[in-house]
Amino acid sequence: MDKIPQVTEVRFLELKNYFNLVESFLKEGKEVRITPKGDSMRPFIIGGRDSVVLTSLSRSPEVGDIVLAMVKGRYIMHRVIMVEGSRLTLMGDGNVKGTERCVVDDVKGIVSEIHKESGRRVKPGKGRIWRLLLPIRKVLVVIHKRIWK
């Protein structure tokens, strides 16, 4: 039996082009699965290991939603911590200070599912208790990093 050659094509995209593609898929109503980088959403999303499914906006973002937004020319994935009309304040779960502000039109997608490294799928919660733990969050994140590297 003849072996069928397997061809794998690899293309590299600039980050801007990558997110333009993500945005266009979301605008078409498609779900998009991406693997975020960084620790700003730890412990709920581990950058470089977990992936998330993004869906287009079918409703206005609410406090507790995790969103992908364009803020000051860069894409960030953080949790909505305050809604004032069309203005949103965002903060990463792994952050202890510092917030970002944007408007609803800057939001490109909402996280509808988190795929853990183990293969388990998790519906994102609203992070109510985690937001209350802000005063001791730094200690909790450090402990989490040491235990689950």
Tell the burial category of 131 from Cβ atoms under 10 Å away from its Cβ (0-12, 13-18, 19+).
middle
What integer is the mean pLDDT of 120-129?
Answer: 89
What integer pLDDT is reported at residue 9 of this predicted model? Answer: 64
> How confident is the model over 64-91, as pLDDT tens digits?
999 999 999 999 999 999 999 999 999 9
Distance CA 78, CA 127 (A): 11
Tell me the percentage of the chain whose pLDDT exceeds 90: 57
What integer pLDDT is reported at residue 149 of this predicted model? Answer: 62
What integer pLDDT is reported at residue 143 of this predicted model? Answer: 82
Mean pLDDT of the chain: 88
7 within domain boundaries: no
82 within domain boundaries: yes
2 within domain boundaries: no
* Secondary-structure breakdown of the chain: helix, strand, coil percentages, each rounded to the nearest 5: 25, 30, 45
1 within domain boundaries: no
10 within domain boundaries: no
Give the domain range for residue 125: 15-147
pTM above 0.85, yes or no: no
- Tally the domains of the chain: 1
63 within domain boundaries: yes
φ, ψ dihedrals at 106, nearest 5°? -80, -15
What integer is the mean pLDDT of 114-135?
Answer: 87
Look at residue 103 and tell me whether its pLDDT is greater than 90. yes
CATH of residue 122: 2.10.109.10
Look at residue 5 and tell me whether its pLDDT is greater than 70. no
78 within domain boundaries: yes
65 within domain boundaries: yes
pLDDT band at 102 (very low <50, low <70, confident <90, very high): very high
Look at residue 114 and tell me whether its pLDDT is greater than 90. yes
Contact 79, 60 (CB under 8 A): no
What integer pLDDT is reported at residue 4 of this predicted model? Answer: 59
